[in-house]
Amino acid sequence: MLNRGPHIVFVLLLLSGLTACCQTPTPARIMNLPPPITLAEQRRHLAEWQAQLPRVKATTVTAGVKFEYRDDQGHDQSQNAEGSLMLRSQDDRTDVLLRGKAFDQPVFEAGRNNSTWWFIVRLDTKTAWIGNPQQPLTWEAGAPGGSASILRADIVPDLLGLTGLNYTSARTPPRTAVMKVDDEKGTNNVLILEPSPSGPVHLAREIIIDRFTGNVIAVQLYNNDGVVMVRSELSDYKPVSVADNLVGARELPSFPRRVVVTYPAQHLTISLQFEDVTVPANISDGVFSTPPFEKEGLKIVPSD
């Protein structure tokens, strides 16, 4: 039985949503690099891909989630599970529902809708952590803590590269994007900058795109001091299945079948292998409804 409480189970949560990353290109590959594009072009390419995935249903292969962690005694451990993910983008937000089970028993649930994000441990502690989706993450480097020490479902779209980059001056706080073109690694690195509560601008998120394929191959989330708090690596892109009424003239969008999410401060790594990924015609509102925590006998812990 796992003994790390939410810090381990939340790992499973990322089932859903989130491979071996960026290998340095060989000299021959570097010689054949596509010409660089502008930030505006890169943003357009990302937006076109994201628009092709307005809804996603994904399930892992059997035991397709492997999470590795360090227990309270400092020993490295690993466990396998399976999970499912549902995403729905609308109204400038993405609703999320992640579920995991082991030995046919529900283990956790993480979700996000317009009013609430939640993370539920259904075994042992039977606890629900809840909060406001507009509430900022509290990153604490070097030790578990804050709302980043459990899985907030609203960061899953970020980790999958599905969060839009169309920031405006009306956004609070305002955010900007810049890009670094890395010829040595063959990538475009889009950097998302935002003000800290105290005022100074800091790097909040980095999206790394492979220049040969155009695929997002890694995403990094940073704290205010520039420390990587969460990193996702995405690979094995394959076309998804799309509902008949959504099929158009363009080729089907691709989605990563392998995702690795790492929380360095928590010594947690989650590897996911998705098997079935579809873009359904619709996902009903009820799927993302806030659970009746008290009726389910869950202990409620409001997020700080």
pLDDT at 124: 74
Domain boundaries along the sequence of the chain: 6-302
Residue 229 CB burial class (10 angstroms; 0-12, 13-18, ≥19): buried
- The yes/no answer on whether domain 6-302 falls in CATH 3.30.360.10 is no
pLDDT at 14: 36
Total residue count of the chain as it appears in this document: 304
pLDDT for 244-285, tens place per residue? 666 554 568 999 999 999 988 888 888 889 999 999 999 999
Whether the Cβ atoms of residue 122 and residue 106 lie closer than 8 Å to each other:
yes
- What is the DSSP annotation of 64-113? EEEEEEE-TTS-EEEEEEEEEEEEEEETTEEEEEEEEEETTEEEEEEEE-
Residue 4 — pLDDT band, cuts 50, 70, 90?
very low
pLDDT for 54-71, tens place per residue? 999 999 998 888 878 777
pLDDT at 244: 66
**pLDDT at residue 82 is higher than 50:** yes
Q: Model's pTM, two decimal places?
A: 0.81
